[in-house]
Structure 1
Amino acid sequence: MKDGLATKQVVVIGLGMTGLSVVRHLQRLDEVSCIKVIDTRQNPPGVDQLPDDVALHSGGWNSDWLHSADLIVSSPGIALASPELQRAAAQGIEIIGDIELFARSVTAPVIGITGSNGKSTVTSLVGEMAKHDGIDVGVGGNIGHAALDMLADNHELYILELSSFQLETTSSLDLTAAAFLNLSEDHMDRYEGMEDYKAAKLRIFDQCRLAVWNNDDAQTQPVNSADEATFGFSHGKYSLTSSEQGEWLSVDEKPLLAVSDIALVGRHNVANCLAAMALADAANISRQAQYSAIKEYGGLPHRCQTVLNANGVLWVNDSKATNLASTLAALDGLTLNGRLHLLLGGDGKGADFSALQPALNALNAQIYCFGKDGTVLAELSDDAITTVTMDEAMSEAYARTVQGDMVLLSPACASLDQFANFMERGDTFCCVAKALNDGRKVSL
């Protein structure tokens, strides 16, 4: 490893995609002689892919393994505040994550993106810009490919989406540019409060050469940074300007690309394009490649994705809206000829949903609330319809739609109370929408 650490015994916490990528990476390192994996789940995903010479302890912790380790590589899903990890740390055992392992091995330039919302879109968009410029780019991290798996491909440039969980265990990631897009309440079941959550996000700037932050959200400003670039709707190096022809994406107030040329839908994606341009400039991606990507890139699945237009009713999948701010972004500037049928529900992670009230009041909206926090969300409206499952909520919405209406899944909650992840929730939404409109019985 770069820091010369002579590691013999490594314990990996958590299997799945990330844990397997860590195991594969460690097996390529001469310093590592023994790898063990602990997963508190009884039947963790990826067991069938674990090499025979790697021992697995599942269904709980193994204190003996932890306390005899030279290094612990922990999954982002395991809080550092866990008593088991706290005891290991008190013993002087280093605890890192997969991104820190990546940082100690990568030799090509790296761009990092974090934020409560929009980071997947910006990460993917910068990746598309690089591809348009003929750059061999790896795009992953908290999205798509595990960071460590991409190292085997020796890319010219890496674009990483980084969650606050990943940043907690990362200390030496040398970023060509880092972006903190926005901050809103999320993961309050893991953090002591917003300041704790914000501090985790701000770690992305610790080793970066250019800090890109949102001039419309002061919470994203780095504490100490030599070089900065700001983006925002009315201020910043990367901003919007207006003319008789409309609004423009601009740099240093010079209009470069008409907002009307953006393929992505939604006002929040205008800001995402500005952030992406700042990062692309830092990576020396040509402006022409940036423009081409912005004009062509239509976004990721489960993010304000129109999946069906049947009988004049739009069915829109925004399952990635796992927190309040994402749902507010989806509702911002929404105009309809008819009524909005909004599906809300899941695990709210302790969030206060009251900020949704003004947005709902400004719209002709009927809300349908389901899942773990469905009854809490139902308090937002006197005529809210509450169901146990999402497909039941969709059936209720379908029965009330007329031409010009929209059925929008933008849950403002995590999905894990009823689904494996937000992707499964979004895929289920698509299947149920098609079944309802085909007159078939919903069967899941």
Structure 2
Amino acid sequence: MTLIASDQLKVVIGLGATGISCAKQLAAQGERFVVLDTREAPANLAVFQRDYPEVKVILGPLDPDLLAASSEIVLSPGVAKDDPAIVFAVAQGVPLIGDIDLFCRRITAPIIAITGSNAKSSVTTLVGDMAREAGIDVGVGGNIGLPVLDFLEQPEKALYVLELSSFQLETTHDLRAEVACVLNLTPDHLDRYDNDFQKYYQAKHRVFKGCKKVVENLDDALTHPLVAKQVSITGFRMSESDFNIFGLINRTEQGVPREYLALAKQALMACDEILLPGRHHTMNALAALAIGHQAGFPMPAMLRAVKKFSGLEHRCQLVATKADVNYFNDSKGTNVGATVAAIEGLGATLAIDKKIVLIAGGDGKGASFDDLADPINKYVKSLVLIGTDATRIADAVSFGSVYYEKTMADAVLKSAELAQAGEIVLLSPACASFDMFDNFMQRGDVFSRAAENL
């Protein structure tokens, strides 16, 4: 393909997994396009050029004139849309889209769209499990698992359940979800949003554009959508259930009190039937039930899925028990809100005289750590800090028992010294991993191996 400025030429920016999936889809449709990447040597370059030798690839700084002359820009979520060349092209009227819009153009099946600062992957996976229990041919992907465009290489599903990041939603215009939900909102990725939480909020709320039904978290006012009155809204909360609200209800059986997931005044299943420990997993179950209810899933199928759900790797995952101390890998806790949820969720399961040893730290992405102070002071006995922003965390929480370690292995050894029988060692960093690791998965794996080898 020759590089000719034309109103028929599209531009794909980014040669990561999503960018390649976009390029594959455009090639399959016979579109004329070029691929740009700001990196000098993208990891996937050789394989892409082998598979698509006719596609021109341009590396280095983005060319504003090329972008302005294109018919459409397809932006990978890892590339910020405020690059001056992109801003220039958009100002000239060039449409800026992402992989989700490309996907929506090709399918007719309904979409359940789930976003939020935390618990996206767990709830998305659980909703997918509910659909399968109901006998629905479902595809689960997006920001988790399979890139959405890879679904187009298969026969169309009856339903798609998609986890969507704020970065994906920035360039999504035509989602029109059957059910849309923002699970929760706490500051995250503020380095991407000029330290402006309002921009992050606005990106997340794009999930509601054109949706038919909504699920909102009634414990988090920031998840409430501004939608037309005719849009059906169902809520969930960690307090008493009510009409059209999933929540909790207490029943006494043979003199023993028991807490239940509930809708209105109807008890659905006992909370102690959830396999995963922690109140945050109870909230995830309520969220998934509300989403499935809005999608029309039968209740028996949804409850079967909840009772079977054993969680995901790196998300409050029990990885070892040593000397009666449980080691939990929550490496996916990459922001303060996630770590608060993990501390409070697991802390509430402990005996009154038992505590958590928390391993935290990494790249804080410009966020404030102030909200960690209360849960740490309530549930944590010692804080073991690693990474670039270790001292910032310590300064924010003003906690008495703080230790600094240079490696994850040393942090686990120190935590093992500090924890007593019946207590918990929790890795929940409240930070990104890139200062010390390739990604959060590698960080979690290193923690898990160190715990297993104690």
Matching of residue 266 in structure 1 with residue 249 in structure 2: no
Q: Secondary structure at the match of 2:277?
A: coil
Matching of residue 242 in structure 1 with residue 250 in structure 2: yes
Q: Which residue of 2 aligns with 1:22?
A: 22
- Counterpart among 320, 324, 329 of residue 332 in structure 2: 320
- Counterpart among 232, 241, 253 of residue 237 in structure 2: 232
Say if 1:368 and 1:12 are closer, same or farther in 2 by CA, change over 3 A.
same
Q: Which whole-Å deviations, capped at 9, do the CAs of 1:267-291 have from their partners, x for residues lacking one?
A: 1222221221122123332212101
Q: Which residue of 2 aligns with 1:150?
A: 151
Say if 1:255 and 1:142 are closer, same or farther in 2 by CA, change over 3 A.
same
- Offset at residue 209 of structure 1 (A): 0.3
- Counterpart among 292, 313, 316 of residue 304 in structure 1: 316
Q: Secondary structure at the match of 2:139?
A: strand
Code of the residue aligned with 1:292 in structure 2: it is R
Is residue 38–residue 62 contact of structure 1 (8 Å, CA) maintained in 2? no
Q: Secondary structure at the match of 2:88?
A: helix
Is residue 67–residue 91 contact of structure 1 (8 Å, CA) maintained in 2? yes
Separation of aligned partners in 2, 1:364 and 1:172? 45
- Offset at residue 364 of structure 1 (A): 4.4
Separation of aligned partners in 1, 2:420 and 2:187? 35
Q: Which residue of 2 aligns with 1:140?
A: 141
Matching of residue 373 in structure 1 with residue 389 in structure 2: yes
Is residue 305–residue 316 contact of structure 1 (8 Å, CA) maintained in 2? yes
Q: Which residue of 1 aligns with 2:370?
A: 354
Code of the residue aligned with 1:160 in structure 2: it is L
- Offset at residue 410 of structure 1 (A): 0.3
Separation of aligned partners in 1, 2:82 and 2:320? 44
Is residue 344–residue 374 contact of structure 1 (8 Å, CA) maintained in 2? yes
Matching of residue 112 in structure 1 with residue 123 in structure 2: no
Q: Which residue of 2 aligns with 1:440?
A: none
Q: Which whole-Å deviations, capped at 9, do the CAs of 1:109-149 have from their partners, x for residues lacking one?
A: 11000111111111000001111122111100011110111
Q: Which whole-Å deviations, capped at 9, do the CAs of 1:240-266 have from their partners, x for residues lacking one?
A: 122214222222222122212122332
- Offset at residue 64 of structure 1 (A): 4.6
Matching of residue 415 in structure 1 with residue 433 in structure 2: yes
Is residue 64–residue 88 contact of structure 2 (8 Å, CA) maintained in 1? no
- Offset at residue 433 of structure 1 (A): 2.0
Is residue 16–residue 76 contact of structure 2 (8 Å, CA) maintained in 1? no
Q: Secondary structure at the match of 2:406?
A: coil
Code of the residue aligned with 1:206 in structure 2: it is K
Code of the residue aligned with 2:10 in structure 1: it is V
Is residue 374–residue 387 contact of structure 1 (8 Å, CA) maintained in 2? no
Code of the residue aligned with 1:255 in structure 2: it is A
Separation of aligned partners in 1, 2:216 and 2:276? 21
Q: Secondary structure at the match of 2:149?
A: helix
Code of the residue aligned with 1:72 in structure 2: it is I
Q: Secondary structure at the match of 2:82?
A: coil
Is residue 368–residue 378 contact of structure 1 (8 Å, CA) maintained in 2? no
Code of the residue aligned with 1:425 in structure 2: it is R
Matching of residue 40 in structure 1 with residue 41 in structure 2: no
Separation of aligned partners in 2, 1:17 and 1:239? 38
CA RMSD of aligned residues (A): 1.8
Is residue 371–residue 390 contact of structure 1 (8 Å, CA) maintained in 2? no
1:61-140 → structure 2 map (5 Å cutoff): 61-140=62-141
Q: Which whole-Å deviations, capped at 9, do the CAs of 1:338-396 have from their partners, x for residues lacking one?
A: 44221111111111112211111112421111111011112232331122332332232
Deviates more, 1:100-109 or 1:43-52: 43-52
* Number of aligned residues: 429
Q: Which residue of 1 aligns with 2:405?
A: 387
Q: Which residue of 1 aligns with 2:303?
A: 291
Separation of aligned partners in 2, 1:73 and 1:412? 31
Separation of aligned partners in 2, 1:45 and 1:311? 43
- Identity, % of aligned positions: 42
Q: Which residue of 1 aligns with 2:11?
A: 11
Q: Secondary structure at the match of 2:418?
A: coil
TM-score of the superposed pair, with normalisation by structure 2: 0.90
Matching of residue 277 in structure 1 with residue 289 in structure 2: yes
- Offset at residue 106 of structure 1 (A): 1.5
Q: Which whole-Å deviations, capped at 9, do the CAs of 1:62-91 have from their partners, x for residues lacking one?
A: 445323321111111222222121011112
Separation of aligned partners in 2, 1:357 and 1:244? 36
- Counterpart among 141, 153, 161 of residue 159 in structure 1: 161
Deviates more, 1:308-317 or 1:384-393: 384-393
Code of the residue aligned with 1:216 in structure 2: it is D
- Offset at residue 7 of structure 1 (A): 7.1
TM-score of the superposed pair, with normalisation by structure 1: 0.92
Q: Which whole-Å deviations, capped at 9, do the CAs of 1:272-319 have from their partners, x for residues lacking one?
A: 212211221233322121011000011110000011112222211000
Matching of residue 195 in structure 1 with residue 207 in structure 2: no
Separation of aligned partners in 1, 2:367 and 2:89? 31
Q: Which residue of 2 aligns with 1:442?
A: none
Separation of aligned partners in 1, 2:40 and 2:378? 47
Is residue 344–residue 379 contact of structure 2 (8 Å, CA) maintained in 1? no
Code of the residue aligned with 1:400 in structure 2: it is L
Say if 1:43 and 1:281 are closer, same or farther in 2 by CA, change over 3 A.
same
Say if 1:339 and 1:249 are closer, same or farther in 2 by CA, change over 3 A.
closer
Separation of aligned partners in 1, 2:182 and 2:132? 23
Q: Secondary structure at the match of 1:104?
A: helix
Runs of 4+ in 1 over 4 A off after TM superposition: 336-339
Is residue 179–residue 291 contact of structure 2 (8 Å, CA) maintained in 1? yes
Is residue 141–residue 161 contact of structure 2 (8 Å, CA) maintained in 1? yes
- Offset at residue 429 of structure 1 (A): 1.1
Deviates more, 1:266-275 or 1:159-168: 266-275
